[in-house]
Amino acid sequence: ETGVTQTPRHLVMGMTNKKSLKCEQHLGHNAMYWYKQSAKKPLELMFVYSLEERVENNSVPSRFSPECPNSSHLFLHLHTLQPEDSALYLCASSKQGALYGANVLTFGAGSRLTVL
């Protein structure tokens, strides 16, 4: 058990579909992240939530919409995606605070998204 669970593991969708990716952690962490992993490119940070507030949005197109209803759950809502959005989407979490040193990220196994 990784501690960070992502569903679904694989998703195929058409450009007009609406779908959501889900991330769940029960590690007592208070920050959650969405990263996009494309082949031969560095992981791209998309969104960061700290204490359930969005603290980062790295110029991500509006067809990606994050939601963090509580500190244990994070969603990425997908709408009208493009084929170039096909990638592995990784969720991560961390415990933020001065007492926690490097605040190491714990990752999930990712959701492989294919947009047709």
Partner 1 sequence: AQTVTQSQPEMSVQEAETVTLSCTYDTSESDYYLFWYKQPPSRQMILVIRQEAYKQQNATENRFSVNFQKAAKSFSLKISDSQLGDAAMYFCAYRRYTGTASKLTFGTGTRLQVTL
| Residues within the interface to partner 1 (CB under 8 A) | 2, 31, 33, 40-43, 45, 48, 50, 55-56, 88, 90, 92, 94, 96, 102-110, 112
Cβ atoms within 10 Å of 78's Cβ, excluding its own: 21
Which residue's CB is nearer to partner 1, number 41 or number 84? 41
CB 15 within 8 A of CB 113: no
d(CA 41, CA 62): 21
Any idea of the CA torsion for 29, 63, 43, 13, to the nearest 10 degrees? 100
The nearer residue to partner 1, 57 or 82, going by C-beta atoms, is 57
> Phi and psi dihedrals of 71, rounded to 5?
-70, -10
In the complex, the smallest distance separating the C-beta of residue 61 from partner 1, rounded to whole angstroms, is 20
If the CB atoms of residues 90 and 115 are measured against partner 1, the closer one turns out to be: 90
Minimum gap (Å) between residue 80 Cβ and partner 1: 26
